[in-house]
Amino acid sequence: MVMYENKSVFIKKRISGGEENTTNNKMELKAVINGLKMLKISCKVIVHTDSQYIKQGITEWINKWKTNGWKTADKKPVKNRELWQELDEVALQHDINW
């Protein structure tokens, strides 16, 4: 669900989707990415999620991954790297409270 205000009008849009042979982590990443991409101008955003994978990934882990060449603390490649990179790029366009 994406909710935003445009010219003093409160707007709600339900977005959904699915893919075969995917994981909940990939779909959660895609949901946040797609929600942020719906915003055509830079703005203040509050992202509500029950996913610790998303919240910790974007607020705690991502800067370490970038510093470590997209490797985890265990020196393994970050799973869903392309999606994390896309989320990072899209998130930088907004002032987001996770």
The position carrying tokens 């009008």 is 9
Q: Pick the residue with more confidence: 4 or 18?
A: 18
pLDDT of residue 2: 66
- The domain made up of 2-97 has a fold known as Nucleotidyltransferase; domain 5 (3.30.420)
CA 51 to CA 57: how far, in whole Å?
A: 10
Q: Helices 81-91 and 24-37 meet at what angle, rounded to 10? A: 20
pLDDT, tens digit, 9 for 90 and up, residues 53-96: 999 999 999 999 999 999 999 999 999 999 999 999 999 999 99
Strand, coil or helix: what is 71? Answer: strand
User: Does residue 33 sit in helix, strand or coil?
Assistant: helix
User: Are the C-beta atoms of 78 and 70 separated by less than 8 Å?
Assistant: yes
Q: Where are the domains of the chain?
A: 2-97
Q: What is the pLDDT of residues 18-53, one digit of tens each?
A: 778 889 999 999 999 999 998 888 988 889 999 999
The whole-number pLDDT of residue 79 equals: 98
